[in-house]
Amino acid sequence: MISDIFCKIVQKELPAEIVYEDEEFLVIKDIHPQAPVHLLVVPKKHFDQIHAASHEDLDLLGKMVLVAGKAAKLAGTEEKGYRLIINQGQDGGQLVPHLHLHLLGGKALGPKIIR
Amino acid sequence: MISDIFCKIVQKELPAEIVYEDEEFLVIKDIHPQAPVHLLVVPKKHFDQIHAASHEDLDLLGKMVLVAGKAAKLAGTEEKGYRLIINQGQDGGQLVPHLHLHLLGGKALGPKIIR
C-alpha cells in the first residue's frame, strides 16, 4: 500500500494547513516556505511522477494547472505574479514521491529560475 | 493581432531549435540555457497566463504536462530527473506573455527551488 506523506495528508492521517480542497485536489501550505507564499497543489490520486500518468489522466493534469491558478488567486498572487514548479526525480530535487506542484509568490522571484 | 515571440515561432516567422512538434505544441531549446537541458514547452494556442485559460482548455493544459514528460524522455532526463517551471507575471519573472513551461535537467538542480 502506498503511504507517502501526501497520501497520509489526503487520508487525513497527518495534519496539514489546507487552503483549498475539492474531490481531486488538496492545496496545502509548505512547511518549509521558500517565499512569502508557498503552497503545494497535491492530486489526491497517487502518481510518483508524470511518467506514471497516462492519456486517461489528461483532465486531472489539466485541472492541476487550473487549481494552481485558482490557488494563486486565493493567495492574492494572481495580479503580481507567481511561479509554479514541479520537481521530478533526483536531479529535480523531488523530496516526496507523489506528484505535486509548488506555487511560490508574494515577492519578486527574479528572472533566474534555478541557482 | 497577437504577435509575441512564441506566436512568431509557432507561425515559423522566427527561427527556433525545435525538438518536438505536434498539432498543439512546440518544444524548443531555450536560447539562454540555465542548465545542460533547458527546453520550452509552448502551446500553439496563445494564452498570456493560466488565468486566461478556461475549463475548455483542460485537455490542452493536461497535454502540456504530458508533452513535458515526453520531452524529458526525448532529452534523456526522465530517469535522473528534471524540473518543470511555469513563470506567471512580473513577480514570477515571466519574460514572454505567452504561457510556456520550462524543462530543466542534465544536472542535479538541488533542493532549493528559488534563490
Domains of chain B, start order: 13-101 (3.30.428.10)
ipTM of the complex: 0.95
Q: What is the pLDDT of residue B1?
A: 61
Only one residue has cell 514572454, namely B96
Distance CA(B114)–CA(A33), nearest Å, equals: 11
3 state SS of B107: coil
Q: What is the pLDDT of residue A30?
A: 96
Inter-chain CB proximity A62 and B57 less than 8 Å: yes
The order of strands in the sheet holding A37-43 is A18-21, A25-29, A37-43, A101-105, A82-88, B82-88, B101-105, B37-43, B25-29, B18-21
3 state SS of B51: helix
The count of other CB atoms within 10 Å of the CB of residue B29 is 14
For chain A, which residues score pLDDT lower than 70?
A: 1, 113-115
> Whole-model pTM?
0.96
Distance CA(A30)–CA(B12), nearest Å, equals: 41
B21 φ, ψ (degrees, to nearest 5): -150, 140
Task: For chain B, positions 20-49, list CB contacts with chain A under 8 A.
Answer: 34-35, 49
Contacts of B82 in chain A (CB under 8 A): 88-89, 91-92
Find, in chain A, the residue whose alpha carbon is nearest to that of B89. A81
State pLDDT tens for residues B59-115: 999 999 999 999 999 999 999 999 999 999 999 999 999 999 999 999 999 777 765
Find out whether A107 and B91 touch, Cβ atoms under 8 Å.
yes
